């Protein structure tokens, strides 16, 4: 298993879409910032087939230091819970093996015009999307 960084994803997206890396990096960072902002506001984020992010509140509790056996108060805190979506669950079943091509969903590829504008085909013309 290897670590894939944000830069790796940006490079891959830029290569597959033909968009400039700086543009892709800006969009990816803005996307991540928006996720953080929404979770910070207590909102639930649902990405169909991918998964759901939501905030869970962990109650305050008393813990014990294993070295000193001293009781230590642990304040309540908010954490992020991620529930895996259907498509990701199916993909993870292949455990590093290649998923059959017919099982890999495809997204419509963007059309990049000479002026740099990007448009996406409608989902009506791509029923598998």
Give the pLDDT score at 125. 45
CB atoms within 10 A of CB 10: 20
| Long-range Cβ contacts of 14-21 (<8 Å, 24+ apart) | 16/109, 17/109, 17/110, 17/112, 17/118, 18/110, 18/112, 19/110, 19/112, 19/118
108 or 91: which leads in pLDDT: 91
Distance (Å, whole) CA 63 – CA 51: 32
Residues 80, 36 contacting (CB under 8 angstroms): no
Query: pLDDT digits over 56-89, tens only?
Result: 999 999 999 999 999 999 999 999 999 999 898 8
Lowest mean pLDDT: which of 24-28, 44-48, 116-120? 116-120
Give the pLDDT score at 81. 96
pLDDT (average), residues 99-111: 59
pLDDT for 9 beyond 80: yes
Distance (Å, whole) CA 80 – CA 106: 29
Task: Give the SS3 label for residue 44.
Answer: coil
Residues 44, 52 contacting (CB under 8 angstroms): yes
pLDDT (average), residues 29-34: 97
pTM score: 0.64
Q: How many percent of the chain have pLDDT more than 90?
A: 64
Beta bridge partners of 79: 56
Give the pLDDT score at 111. 65
Per-domain boundaries in the chain:
6-103
Give the pLDDT score at 24. 96
Query: Has domain 6-103 been given CATH number 4.10.520.10?
Result: yes
């Amino acid at each position: 298993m290897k670590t894939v960084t944000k830069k790796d994803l940006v490079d891959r997206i830029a290569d597959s879409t033909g968009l400039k890396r700086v543009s892709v990096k800006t969009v990816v960072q803005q996307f991540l910032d928006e996720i953080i902002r929404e979770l910070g506001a207590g909102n639930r984020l649902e990405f169909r087939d991918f998964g759901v992010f939501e905030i869970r509140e962990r109650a305050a509790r008393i813990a014990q230091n294993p070295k000193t056996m001293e009781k230590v108060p642990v304040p309540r805190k908010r954490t992020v819970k991620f529930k895996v979506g259907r498509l990701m669950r199916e993909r993870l079943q292949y455990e590093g093996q290649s998923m059959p091509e017919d099982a890999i969903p495809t997204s419509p590829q963007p059309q990049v015009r000479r002026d740099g504008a990007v448009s996406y085909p409608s989902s009506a013309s791509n029923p598998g999307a």
